[in-house]
Amino acid sequence: MNDQNTTHFGFRQVPEGDKAKLVRSVFDSVAGKYDLMNDLMSMGVHRIWKRIAIQLSNVRHGDKVLDLAGGTGDMTKLYRERVGDSGQVVLSDINAAMLNQGRSRLLDEGVVGGVRFVQIDAEKIPFPDNTFDCVCIAFGLRNVTHKEAALASMYRVLKPGGRLIVLEFSHPPEGPFKKVYDAYSFKLLPALGKMIANDAESYRYLAESIRMHPDQEKLKAMMETVGFERCEYFNLTHGVVAIHRGYKF
């Protein structure tokens, strides 16, 4: 098996065709505890990261937004508040279990009108060209097998003047903070996953997938390669998370 036919799943090399299935098994396992684990893992700070991403999206009343890998719907809910009754948000995820969690949560919270639910592979977005004012993918891009294909698909469905927002774990600079972060990721995080979700392996994969994801500058360059302009990124929490933004003109 040569390198052209393999990709990474965490630190393991696997056949490209197997990665989506392996990722799906991870999120099938954690879907029921996903929101609780997010709060515990980040001590609630993920809610601040997401609100900053919403602000940077510049989404306005009446806009149409695609929330890729939207999972349990917290970004969709925030976008729905901004676009109002004249706008629309599409909550999408490749994983049916996560999408069902998102649909149930939003319906329970009274978010009914102005939201569509669609199971989507980010590499093959099934919408016409120039459909959305904003495409957002939060904590999902690192799980995509062919990131360049996904970014190109996002670019295609954006309207001219539209924005891409990528909120993702990233790479803190070398130093004392990174050492503490690494210890937390590879020791405490799997233990927390075992205790709360009875699944240490899925959270070990999470830590590994973050390390294999392109760093801030590489992801910026990937966005530029597929056509995005005025690309920039904003480091949060010492670079543990970064928000990338690019425009289609």
What is the phi/psi pair of residue 175, to 5°?
Answer: 155, -175
Report the C-alpha gap between 112 and 103 in whole angstroms: 9
Known binding residues for S-adenosyl-L-methionine:
72, 93, 121-122
Known binding residues:
72, 93, 121-122
CA-wise closest residue to 127 among 95, 92, 102: 92
What are 112's two structure tokens?
């009914």
Dihedral-angle region of residue 218 (phi above 0 means left; psi in -120 to 50 means alpha; beta otherwise): alpha
